[in-house]
Amino acid sequence: MLNKAANFIWFQTIWFLAIFTQYEFIWVIGLLFVAFFLISPAKTRDMVLLTIVIVLGCVVDSALTLANLFLFNSAVFVVPIPFWLIALWGAFGLTLPYSLNYLQSKTLLCALLGAIFGPISYWAGERFGAVVFPQSLGLTLFTLAIVWAAIFPLCMVLTRYVETYFKDKSQLKRQEKS
């Protein structure tokens, strides 16, 4: 079973590698994802959640990039956002059922934490040169606070839905075997 502290450290390692090195150690980030899935107790569920959160993150951050809220210096793009940022979204998605699962039924707290820590994470990325904010810092952080006040609770709802789906599916299989 994935330990909450280990999952948190895993995510922070990916965050630091992505923000500070972007593509230089992308292979290490890839290995960290492989390691995650080697020890994951719910590989299929986690892959589905990873995919959902990556798609959501790509849509959100691509929209913010196209709205000129972000500017990236990275050379390799899959969508309007760099691949290392897509990896960060995936890593975030894999914290939801593990190190952040205690927040699943706390929608208002998720909104508050999202409004605070979402912008702080992007601002740290800006301070370390991973992203440029073409607009004023105030406007950017305010926009990110609104976006993350919605995104974090939405991610928790999606996590609950995915967990329920796979739990119901496994219960159905057990009933069929009986």
Q: Where are the domains of the chain?
A: 4-177
Q: Tell me: the pLDDT tens digits for 104-114?
A: 889 999 999 99
19-40: pLDDT as tens digits: 999 889 999 999 999 999 999 9
DSSP string for 115-174: HHHHHHHHHHHHHTTS-B--S-HHHHHHHHHHHHHHHHHHHHHHHHHHHHHHHHHHHHHH
Q: What's this model's pTM, rounded to 2 decimal places?
A: 0.90
78 vs 136, residue with greater confidence: 136
